[in-house]
Structures are given as C-alpha cells and as structure tokens.
C-alpha cells in the first residue's frame, strides 16, 4: 500500500485529495458518483451564522478554460447545517472540514462557537475571500486587507476548539503579506486560492453574463497563477498550505504538491467530471508508487531549481 497520508494542523488525513468548498455541497450528491470514504477530506459548502439567499441569476457563465460564478454564499445557516447536514457527515468515514464565512468578526465567532460542539468536524476553513458577498465595512474582501485578515483570524482562533485554516484571495498585490498575517494571527494552515474577480459580457444583449455583474473565475485558466502563489507562500510561511485553483487532473495535483502544498482541493473539476476527485486520487497514488515516494514530504516543495 502506498502511503499517501498528509498531516495538517496536527490532523492526519488519509490522502492529500480534498474537495473545495462550494464545489461539492457536503458530499451527498457526488457520493452517488464516487466513494466519499476514499477522499482525504470533504470541505463543505460555506455556511454563515444566518441563512443567506445568494445572488440573483444568472449565477454561472462559461468562459475559455473555466467558469464565472456569483452564487453569493447561498446557505441555510449554521443551525440548519448542524440539524440537516451533520447527521450525514457522521455516517462518513472521510474527515469533514467546514467552511465558514461572515460579515463581521461577531458573525464569524458566533458560527465557530456553534460548530465547536460538533465532534465530527476536523477543522474549520475561514472563508475571508468570497468575491461575491459584502465583507462588512471593508471596501473589498477581508483577505485583501492585512489588518482585517489578522483581526478575523485572531478572533476565530480565540474561540475555536478546532484547527483554523484561512482561505485567502488571490486578488492582492502581494499574497505573501496576507499569508504572513494569517500565520501571525495563529492560523494553523492556509488554503489558497479563492477565485479571481472577473466578469463577462453578452455582446448580443450587451448585458453582463452574471446577474451580480462581477463574479469569480475558476477552472484550469487560473491554475498557473495559483501555483505561482502557492510557491511564493510556501517560501514565506511555515504553516501548511492547502493548494486549490483549477486542478483538473492528477498531474495538476502533483504540480501543487511540488510547489509546496500539503494537500490539494478539487473544485470546478467536479462540475465537469463528477468522478474527478477519485480519478485524481488514483493518478496521484500511481505516481507515488512509480516514483517510490514513501511520504508526501519527499515531494512537497521539492521543485528542482
């Protein structure tokens, strides 16, 4: 048996293939296409303290090498999540990571406090980078601002009984500054990157492709930029990195690990190929075997320069 395990924030995951928040629900639907137990972790769709309706349609647009979305964190709220989703998660062998967002420090900490009580949750991913919602009084996104990033991570770290993963935005001048702020504020790991702010126009109607005008770009188009950012942050911080951004196949996943990722998340690929996660896992396993890699650390950040 190949050892694919990876350790992040003191937790041992069976393998480095995770799902990306918002791209897998909480696993129930894609569980009809793949065996969820095989995954390293399922990262659930972002939840907020109170239910949110999300943005007006259209919320999706196809674009060269990817897609635009402006879902707007539609979710039933944290209480509804505990009532309706947690019983399903309890039945799964795979580790569960829950993504949390909020409009203020209080919204983040209140949601985290409620989730503290749920044993089945391994870690919390703090989404301070969704491009499709308002981020309190901040002009852009929380994770576009060093101070706001630090403030929220510090606040959730203070109340959380679970490890904290900070999910950050690529829409910044220097992502290492934000990553350092996360580390300094006590984050146990960094998940990067969220989508790139983007838009598209229908030239026939001259209307934006998205109802919210702007949205987030994901898919293979962003992979090279995500890789570059993971590599930069890997060389800046000591905490583990979970790489995400346009991973479509196992080769992409290996690239991220070589650039320093301790694990990867599969997002948009699921929409195109509902068996993407397990297909990628199989490929990664084969690569480890063929290259006689005994531990992910032999590969992590080991680009030959």
Which chain residues interact with other proteins by CB under 8 A? 22-25, 29-30, 32-33, 45, 53-54, 56-67, 69, 71, 74, 219, 268, 270-275
Of 199, 211, 217, 197, the closest CA to residue 139 belongs to 197
Minimum CB separation of residue 266 from other proteins in Å reads 13
Task: Select 125 or 279, whichever has its Cβ closest to other proteins.
Answer: 279
Q: Which of 23, 44, 130, 145 is catalytic?
A: 130
Task: Select 24 or 288, whichever has its Cβ closest to other proteins.
Answer: 24
Minimum CB separation of residue 252 from other proteins in Å reads 15
* b/e code 93-110 from CB counts within 10 Å (16+ = b): ebbbbbbbbbbebebbbb
Minimum CB separation of residue 136 from other proteins in Å reads 23
Task: Select 162 or 223, whichever has its Cβ closest to other proteins.
Answer: 223
Told to judge if 130 belongs to the known catalytic residues of this protein, a careful annotator would answer yes
Task: Select 66 or 131, whichever has its Cβ closest to other proteins.
Answer: 66
Task: Select 32 or 238, whichever has its Cβ closest to other proteins.
Answer: 32
Minimum CB separation of residue 117 from other proteins in Å reads 26
Q: Which residues contact 255 (CB under 8 A, 6 or more apart)?
A: 223, 227
- Pinpoint the alpha helices (H) of the chain: 78-84, 86-90, 105-116, 146-159, 175-184, 223-234, 250-258, 269-272, 276-290
Give the three-state DSSP class for 132.
Answer: coil
Pairing outcome for strands 215-218 and 66-69:
antiparallel
Minimum CB separation of residue 108 from other proteins in Å reads 21
In a 10 Å sphere around its CB, with 0-12 CB exposed, 13-18 middle and 19+ buried, how is residue 169 labelled?
buried
Residues annotated as catalytic are: 130
């Amino acid at each position: 048996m190949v050892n694919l395990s990876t350790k992040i924030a003191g937790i041992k995951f069976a393998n480095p293939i995770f799902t990306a928040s918002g791209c897998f629900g909480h696993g129930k639907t894609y569980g009809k296409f793949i065996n969820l137990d095989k995954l390293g972790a399922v990262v659930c769709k972002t939840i907020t303290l109170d239910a949110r309706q999300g943005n007006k349609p259209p919320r999706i647009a196809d674009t060269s090498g990817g897609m635009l979305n402006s879902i707007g964190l539609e979710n039933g709220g944290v209480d509804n999540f505990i009532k309706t989703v947690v019983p399903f998660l309890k039945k799964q062998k795979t580790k569960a990571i829950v993504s949390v967002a909020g409009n203020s420090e209080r919204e983040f900490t209140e949601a985290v406090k409620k989730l503290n009580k749920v044993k089945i949750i391994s870690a919390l991913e703090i989404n301070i980078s969704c491009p499709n919602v308002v981020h309190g009084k901040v002009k852009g996104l929380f994770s576009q601002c060093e101070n706001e990033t630090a403030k929220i991570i510090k606040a959730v770290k203070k109340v959380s009984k679970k490890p904290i993963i900070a999910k950050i935005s690529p829409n910044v001048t220097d992502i290492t500054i934000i990553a350092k702020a996360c580390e300094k504020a006590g984050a146990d790991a960094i998940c990067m990157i969220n989508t790139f702010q983007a838009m598209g126009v229908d030239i026939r109607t001259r209307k934006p492709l998205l109802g919210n005008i702007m949205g987030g770009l994901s898919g293979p188009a962003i992979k090279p930029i995500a890789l570059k950012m993971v590599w930069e942050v890997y060389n800046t911080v000591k905490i583990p990195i979970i790489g995400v951004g346009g991973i479509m196949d196992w080769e992409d996943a290996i690239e991220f690990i070589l650039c320093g990722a301790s694990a990867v998340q599969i997002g948009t690929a699921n929409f195109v190929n509902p068996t993407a996660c397990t297909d990628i896992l199989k490929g990664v396993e084969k690569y480890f075997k063929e290259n006689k890699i005994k531990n992910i650390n032999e590969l992590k950040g080991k680009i030959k320069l």
